[in-house]
């Protein structure tokens, strides 16, 4: 007995060491397996973020070494750049025009596509197709649609005696025209989200409401819309972010014109970075946009308690 | 214990070793191949073009390979800037003539003076005004011109004849071809909406050409590139004249109908405009595609002067180029008699080499007065170089939209943007 206890202790210690060695080895293997992803995140995401943060505090043309200038870029943005103000206004105009129209239209399309009729999948696909179509192709097609003399839009308007404007060259019409294209292109995605939400609403609740005498409008207003508020909330946030970052349509269709009437924030940021070689200034713009979007998203998040129903 | 399917340390090390060795060997092979290859960033494809043919002739003569990397025109400046910033730039880059000063200021372009001196390049062999175009205030020769594309008036001969209007002059002469004559001719040619007499105001070429021809000494910018001079009375009058062709005389397509790509060439091709102010560069396209009418070229109408802005076909060797010597050899070939002859044959540029430029002469196909492009060498003007032409242009050109759309006068717009443009000119793009 006297020798048994030390032997047992030795065996236990050896077992622990082996377990620790095995655990360490598994840890190493695990790290090695996820190393490509971690490296990718560090090199392609964290590093550019840090560089961009530093660049925002410098005067840098992207070719020569950056020169540290503190908050000068931000001071210029707020105090000495009229075009910055113009592009912010245009972006807000575009966003305010796009989001409600997209979500309302998406809701109606989702309601239509929720019907159990033959061939409904074709309609769902048709509405979703623009969303997965290349924005350059869409831009070019609509560019020709909006041609003032030979475009389809003015051609149709002339059939009813209306002389259409030069949509993309008219200060008053250029952003509404872009909103139309953006809504047409982007409505498919929110429609699918809302359709999924609609299909998650219990048929029993609606039947009960019908039995209680609720008509279609009442059922929509009091049952369907409240139960879809989580989807609306999600769409509000994602649509806000994507509308605020609109670039492709502007780049392809108007290049910010006429004048600067359709120049939006990201397009101006792009011009500063890659056309004027003001990488530092563009980085400051990017960080400002990040803060703005984060702040508005935070406010939306806080306000959701008042209107989003997770029942 | 079954180890199949698990990754051992040895296996991983072996794999990494094999991958590393392969990468190293691949790198060696690449370096060996690079010595004989000239990389060339261009904003268009060159297959079948005069430039492509000249490059092929160089490859055949030198035994070197030229790897042309075309980038879409819209994104070209972005790609070039990125390439220069990366430190691993192509050996040759095509560069917009407006941006030579700006890129030179960044110090990213190689000074070619040592090659010019070493090879005893004789300036007298080249078109003087454009040869010295890339020479910077500090004396550095930071880019290289191989040819130039003067702007002339392309016109539809059949349209003139059917309207009974005398044809424009066939030499660089202002006799019967002043601004007033031009308007008068346009009014006779005009057939109403969709069949306009002329298309003049499309790019910055009109701003420079017509302000200079109106008597402004420097055109868009001052000689030192620090001042915006398009807002002088002469400049304003020139812009208003070009605008009035639309808003007052109704002989030019509305600005709103000119926003699609290549509208200028399409309108001329489709006989929607009778006269078009455009560069030599569109000539090969017209020669290939216009089959149903006769066309020709004439000088721009004269006023105080009769000159024309010429786009310059210019290339640069970045400082970080791996094969600068080979790059110089190619540039020298393209601007020499052999390369120049090929470019002249293609009738897209007037070669900078005087001997080669002689080949720019009429043949059986239109235009009958092709030699006006070669003669334009004596009537050239170019916008003065600035450190930030793009930044300045992106301020005053969008503002001009309102002038061209007939909403504001040239005077109110150009004077209102002056301070912003001059602020941009103080910056380096």
**Cβ separation of B257 and A147 shorter than 8 Å?**
yes
Q: pLDDT category, B11, cuts 50, 70, 90?
A: low
CA distance B64 to chain A (A): 29
| B66-98: pLDDT as tens digits | 999 888 777 788 888 888 887 778 999 999 888
CB contact under 8 A, A62 and B85: yes
Residues A112 and A250 in one domain: yes
pLDDT of residue B315: 96
Cβ of A276 within 8 Å of Cβ of B399? The answer is: no
In a domain, A10, yes or no: yes
Residue A245 structural domain:
73-307
| Model pLDDT, residue B347 | 81
Q: Contacts of residue A147 in chain B, CB cutoff 8 Å?
A: 257, 260
Q: Let me know if residue B377 belongs to a domain.
A: no
Positions in chain A short of pLDDT 50: 1-2
Put simply, the answer to whether B255 touches A169 (Cβ < 8 Å) is yes
B429, pLDDT greater than 80: no
Q: Which helix (H) or strand (E) holds B295?
A: strand B295-298
Residue pair A239/A98 in contact by the 8 Å Cβ criterion = yes
Residues A139, A175 share a domain = yes
Residue B231 domain flag: yes
Are residues B263 and B139 part of one domain? no
Is B67 found in the same domain as B78? yes
Give the closest-approach CA distance of A107 to chain B in angstroms: 35
- Using a 10 angstrom Cβ sphere, with 0-12 exposed, 13-18 middle and 19 or more buried, the burial of residue B135 is middle
**pLDDT tens, residue by residue, B143-181:** 999 999 999 999 999 999 999 999 999 999 999 999 999
Q: Report ipTM for this prediction.
A: 0.72
What distance in Å separates residue A276's CA from the closest CA in chain B?
5
B53 CA: distance to closest CA in chain A (Å) = 31
Together in a domain, A24 and A111: no
pTM as predicted: 0.80
Write down the mean pLDDT value for chain B.
88
pLDDT band at B2 (very low <50, low <70, confident <90, very high): very low
| Joined tokens for residue A281 | 């200034």
Q: Do A61 and B106 touch (CB under 8 A)?
A: yes
Does A157 share its domain with A225? Answer: yes
B306 plus B236 within the same structural domain? yes
pLDDT for position B130: 86
Residue A121 is assigned to a structural domain of this protein: yes
Please give the pLDDT value at position A181. 96
Give the number of other Cβ atoms within 10 Å of residue B146's Cβ. 28
Instruction: Indicate whether B301 and B195 sit together in one domain.
Output: yes
Share of chain A above pLDDT 70, in %: 97
Q: Is the pLDDT of residue B8 over 70?
A: no
Q: Which residues of A touch B81 (CB under 8 A)?
A: 62-63, 274, 277
- Domain co-membership, B187 together with B144: no
| B118 and B184 assigned to the same domain | no
* Domain-embedded: residue A66: no
B212's tokens: 């200079």
Identify whether residues B327 and B301 lie together within a single domain.
no
Indicate the number of domains in chain B: 2
Under an 8 A CB cutoff, do B402 and A258 touch? yes
Partner-chain contact B390 A166, CB within 8 Å = no
Query: Smallest Cβ distance to A63: which of B7, B85, B401?
Result: B85
The number of CA neighbours under 13 Å toward the Cβ of B142 is 22
| Percent of chain B scoring above 70 in pLDDT | 91
The number of folded domains in chain A is: 2
Which residues in chain A have their CB less than 8 angstroms from residue B84's CB? 63
**Closest Cα in chain A, distance from residue B311 (Å):** 20
A261: nearest CA partner in chain B: B398
pLDDT value of residue A114: 92
Shared domain for A124 and A32, answered yes or no, is no
Residues B209 and B260 in one domain: yes
What local confidence, expressed as pLDDT, does residue A8 receive?
Answer: 67
**Judgement on whether residues B416 and B273 belong to the same structural domain of the protein:** yes
A49 falls within a domain: yes
Which chain B residues have a beta carbon less than 8 Å from that of A256? 398
Q: Which string of b and e fits A235-260 if b means at least 16 CB within 10 Å?
A: bbbebbebbbbbebbbbbbbbbbbbb
What gap in Å lies between CA B101 and CA A113, rounded to an integer?
A: 59
Cα–Cα distance measured from residue A147 to residue A153, given in angstroms and rounded to the nearest whole number: 8
Domain-embedded: residue B17 = no
Same domain, B258 and B174: yes
Residue with tokens 């996820």: A34
Specify if A111 maps to a domain: yes
Same structural domain, A22 and A82 = no
Query: Residue A49: its pLDDT value, please?
Result: 94
Q: Nearest Cβ partner of B405 from A64, A169, A271?
A: A169
Q: What is the CATH classification number for the domain harbouring A83?
A: 1.10.3720.10
| Residue A65 within a domain | no
**Whole-number Cα distances in Å, A217 to A106, A195, A198, A209, A222:** 17, 18, 15, 11, 8
The tens digit of pLDDT for each residue in A2-26 reads 455 666 667 778 888 888 888 999 9
CB-CB neighbors (< 8 A) of A144 in chain B: 260
Evaluate whether residue B15 is within a structural domain.
Answer: no
**Residue B389 in tokens:** 């032409």
* Contact status, residue B269 vs residue B287, Cβ threshold 8 Å: no
User: Would the CB atoms of A258 and B7 count as touching at under 8 Å?
Assistant: no
**Residues of chain A with C-beta less than 8 angstroms from the C-beta of B261:** none
CA dist A58 and A78 (Å) reads 16
Give the domain range for residue B399.
151-310+382-425
pLDDT number for residue A63 = 81
Task: Please list every residue in chain B whose beta carbon sits closer than 8 Å to the beta carbon of residue A169.
Answer: 255-256, 259, 401, 405
Q: What is the pLDDT of residue A106?
A: 97
* One domain, residues B215 and B132: no
Nearest Cβ partner of B429 from A32, A263, A277?
A277
pLDDT at B3 (0 to 100):
46
Mark whether B354 and B394 lie in a shared domain: no
Within a domain: residue A83? yes
Q: Which residues of B touch A22 (CB under 8 A)?
A: none
Note whether residue A61 is domain-resident.
no
Q: Find the CATH number of the domain harbouring B321.
A: 3.40.190.10
């Amino acid at each position: 007995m006297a020798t048994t206890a030390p032997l047992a202790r030795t065996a236990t210690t050896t077992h622990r060491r082996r377990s620790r060695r095995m655990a360490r080895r598994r840890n190493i293997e695990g790290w090695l397996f996820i190393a490509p992803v971690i490296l990718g995140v560090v090199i392609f995401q964290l590093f550019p973020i840090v560089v961009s943060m530093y660049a925002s505090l410098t005067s840098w043309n992207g070719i020569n070494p950056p020169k540290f200038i503190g908050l000068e870029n931000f001071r210029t943005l707020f105090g000495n750049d009229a075009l910055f103000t113009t592009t912010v206004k245009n972006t807000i105009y575009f966003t305010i025009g796009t989001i409600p129209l997209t979500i309302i239209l998406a809701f109606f399309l989702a309601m239509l596509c929720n019907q159990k009729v033959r061939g409904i999948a074709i309609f769902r696909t048709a509405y979703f197709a623009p969303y997965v179509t290349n924005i350059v192709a869409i831009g070019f097609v609509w560019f020709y649609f909006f041609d003032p003399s030979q475009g389809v839009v003015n051609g149709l308007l002339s059939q009813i005696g209306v002389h259409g404007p030069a949509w993309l060259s008219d200060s008053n019409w250029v952003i509404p025209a872009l909103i139309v294209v953006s809504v047409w292109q982007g409505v498919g995605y929110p429609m699918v989200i809302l359709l999924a939400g609609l299909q998650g609403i219990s048929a029993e609740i609606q039947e009960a409401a019908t039995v209680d005498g609720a008509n279609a409008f009442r059922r929509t207003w009091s049952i369907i819309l409240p139960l879809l508020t989580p989807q609306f909330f999600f769409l509000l946030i994602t649509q806000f972010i994507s509308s605020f970052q609109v670039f492709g349509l502007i780049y392809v269709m108007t290049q910010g014109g006429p004048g600067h009437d359709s120049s939006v924030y990201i397009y101006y940021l792009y011009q500063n970075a890659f056309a004027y070689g003001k990488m530092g200034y563009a980085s400051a713009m990017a960080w400002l946009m990040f803060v703005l979007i984060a702040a508005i998203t935070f406010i939306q998040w806080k306000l959701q308690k008042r209107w989003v129903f997770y029942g | 214990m079954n180890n199949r399917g698990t990754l051992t340390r040895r296996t991983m090390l072996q794999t990494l070793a094999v991958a590393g060795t392969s990468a190293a060997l691949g790198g060696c092979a690449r370096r060996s191949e690079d010595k004989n290859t000239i990389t060339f960033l261009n904003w268009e494809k060159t297959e079948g073009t005069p430039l492509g043919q000249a490059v092929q002739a160089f490859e055949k003569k030198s035994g070197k390979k030229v790897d042309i990397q075309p980038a879409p025109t819209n994104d070209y400046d972005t790609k070039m800037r990125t390439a220069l910033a990366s430190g691993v730039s192509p050996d040759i880059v095509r560069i917009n003539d407006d941006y030579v000063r700006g890129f030179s200021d960044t110090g990213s372009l190689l000074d070619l003076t040592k090659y010019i001196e070493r090879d005893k390049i004789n300036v007298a062999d080249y078109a003087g005004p454009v040869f010295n175009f890339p020479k910077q205030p500090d004396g550095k020769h930071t880019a290289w011109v191989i040819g130039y594309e003067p702007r002339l008036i392309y016109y539809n001969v059949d349209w003139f004849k059917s309207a009974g209007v005398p044809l424009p002059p066939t030499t660089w002469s202002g006799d019967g071809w002043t601004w007033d004559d031009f308007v008068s001719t346009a009014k006779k040619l005009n057939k109403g909406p969709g069949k306009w007499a002329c298309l003049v105001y499309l790019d910055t070429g009109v701003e420079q050409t017509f302000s200079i021809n109106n008597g402004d000494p420097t055109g868009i910018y001052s000689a030192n590139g620090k001042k915006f001079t398009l807002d002088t009375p002469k400049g304003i009058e020139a812009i208003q004249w070009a605008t009035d062709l639309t808003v007052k005389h109704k002989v030019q397509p509305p600005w709103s109908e000119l926003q699609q790509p290549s509208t200028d060439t399409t309108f001329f091709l489709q006989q929607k405009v009778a006269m078009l102010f455009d560069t030599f560069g569109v000539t090969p396209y017209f020669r290939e595609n216009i089959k149903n009418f006769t066309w020709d070229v004439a000088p721009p109408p004269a006023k105080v002067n009769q000159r024309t802005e010429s786009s310059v076909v210019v290339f640069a060797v970045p400082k970080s180029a791996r094969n600068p010597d080979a790059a110089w050899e190619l540039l020298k070939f393209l601007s020499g008699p052999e390369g120049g002859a090929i470019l002249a044959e293609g009738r897209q540029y007037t070669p900078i080499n005087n001997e080669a430029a002689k080949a720019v002469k009429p043949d059986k196909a239109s235009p009958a007065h092709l030699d006006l492009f070669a003669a334009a060498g004596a009537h050239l003007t170019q916008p003065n170089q600035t450190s930030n032409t793009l930044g300045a242009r992106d301020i005053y050109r969008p503002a001009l939209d309102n002038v061209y759309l007939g909403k504001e006068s040239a005077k109110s717009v150009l004077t209102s943007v002056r301070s912003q443009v001059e602020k941009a000119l103080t910056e380096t793009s």
